[in-house]
Every structure is written in structure tokens, then in C-alpha cells.
Structure 1
Amino acid sequence: MVKVEIVEDKDQRTAGSSPYSSPSSSRTSSSTSLSSVSSELNDEETLFERIGALIDIIPPTTRHSISTKVSKAASFMMRGGKLAGNIVWVVTTSALLVGLPLAMTLEDEAKIVAEEKAMLAQQQGAQGMIAGYPGSSPDGSQPKPLVPPGF
């Protein structure tokens, strides 16, 4: 348990160096108003120093509770960011290792199919040209008419 004791310094009391004391003031009188006390601001004091001075207003238990909650939130965010980064890494690497060769294979197969279609069209064109001349067919028979009979 803490015991509080008031110690008065007679030299300081008579000199009036305290802004809250006046020559006629005593411990029991409260007639001195705060408006009579000069409140000069220190121009060299920074905003950080002012905010730092506000720490004393918050009780230590509350400060500890706030500090704990902030550190837990920061830790949670760090773990979440690391997990998200790992997931993105796995997805990207898998897409490159599986998807890129698959895409290249599909592209090659599409080229082969296009070449086969072009060759087939070329063969049909050549057969059409040969069949277009009367009396000329590879087996010596008559060419088939393009229009079905009965028209």
C-alpha cells in the first residue's frame, strides 16, 4: 500500500515560483482560478511529444490491453498475408508447370488439324479439276454429275 504525504518547501512557497501558487494561497483555499495561471506553449514542442505525453492519461492496464490487441491483430495480418502469398505462389507455379505445356500442345494440335483440312481441300480441289474435264477420270469411267437425277 502506498502512503501519500505532503511535503511543503518553505523557500519555494515564499518565492512563488509555482504557477499555481499565490502569496495568499494555502492548501485549503481554492480561490485561485485556472484563468489566472499563464499557459505559455513551448514552441519547440512537437506533435509527437504532445501525443507521447497523452500516454500518461491512459491507465497501464488499458495500455497493456490495447497493446496486446494491436500486436495480435498485426500478427494475424502477417500470417494471413504470408498464407495468401503462398497460395498465390502455388497457383502461379502450377499454372506455369501444367497449363503452359497443355496450351502449347493444344496449339500444336490445332495447327495439325488446320494443315489436314488444307491438304484435304487441296486434294478435293485437284480431284474437282480432274473431274471437270470431259472424258478424263483417273479410272477411265464417266464423271458423276453434280446434280442428282430427276431434276
Structure 2
Amino acid sequence: MVKVEIVDEHNSPYSSSAPSHTSSSDSLSSIASDVSVPDESIYDRLFALVDIVPPTTRQSFASSVSKTTSFVKKTGKVVGNIVWIVTTSALLVGLPLALSLEDEAKIVQQEQETLAQQQGAQQMLSPGSSYPTPAQPAQKAAVPPGF
């Protein structure tokens, strides 16, 4: 059951002695100073604005934000897994491969240096020289017994 109560407007802080069409801003400022307003934070004020937006609009907005958030989370997880797979594969396969290729390059370089030394030695020796060439082994001189 609804109870109806008559409110006396003369005792109200919003009432004015002047007619309503002639009231000025002075009467409003005096009323505002008389009424105590509790301290509200910005969060409280923003939270109170929720009532302005209709429930269907709030529901659709919340649903779209939820879907977007879940999509971003799933995409981030997939991308993280792909990065993990690529990184571990590069370490397990690529690093040993790179090390073996480097070792092989060192061996090839040593072989080339050895060939260059042999060619340089052959060029320094003339064909009529008594020094043995790498292609011809040196003959051992006969050593008399007793030495």
C-alpha cells in the first residue's frame, strides 16, 4: 500500500520567498551552501553515470568488451607459443648447425693455407736446385758405421 504525505514547501530549503519566475541566482547559491554534500570521488561520480546508459546498451557493450578481451588473450597465447617454438627450434637445430659450418670453414681455410705454403715453397725452389721438393723425398746419406 502506498502512503501519501503532504510536504510543506515553506519549510523546505529549496523554497523561496520570491515567486518562482523572479528567483535569482543568489537564492540558489544560498541554498547550495546550506545543503551539505558528502565528499564524492571521481569514481563514485563515474559509477553513478552507469544509470544513464540503458541496460540493453550496457549489456551489448559489456559483451563486446568481453569478446574482444578473450580474443586478445587467445591471440597472445598463440603468438607466444609460436615464438617459443621458433626460438627453441633455432637453438636446438640452428646453433649446432652454425657451429658445424664454422668448424668446416676453419678446416677449409687451413687446407687452403697449407696448399698456399706448398705452392710458395715450390716457386722459391728452382728446378735445378739440390734442395728436395715436397714431391720428391730426400735421400738419406750413407753414414759410416761408428758415428
Paired position in structure 2 for 1:9: 5
* C-alpha displacement of 1:33: 7.8
Q: What do the CA deviations read for 1:88-141 (whole angstroms, capped 9, x no partner)?
A: 111111111111011001100000000001111111122222x237443648xx
Higher relative contact order (CA 8 A, sep 6+): 2
Normalised TM-score (structure 2) = 0.69
* C-alpha displacement of 1:73: 0.5
What secondary structure is seen at the aligned counterpart in 1 of 2:130? coil
Counterpart-to-counterpart distance in 2, 1:51 and 1:24: 36
Unaligned runs of 5+ in 2: 134-147
What is the 5 A alignment of 1:25-104? 37=28, 38-39=31-32, 42=37, 44-104=39-99
Percent identical across equivalent pairs? 51
What secondary structure is seen at the aligned counterpart in 2 of 1:132? coil
- Structure with the higher fraction of residues in helix conformation: 2
Counting matched residue pairs gives: 128
Paired position in structure 1 for 2:107: 112
Counterpart-to-counterpart distance in 2, 1:63 and 1:16: 41
Paired position in structure 2 for 1:147: none
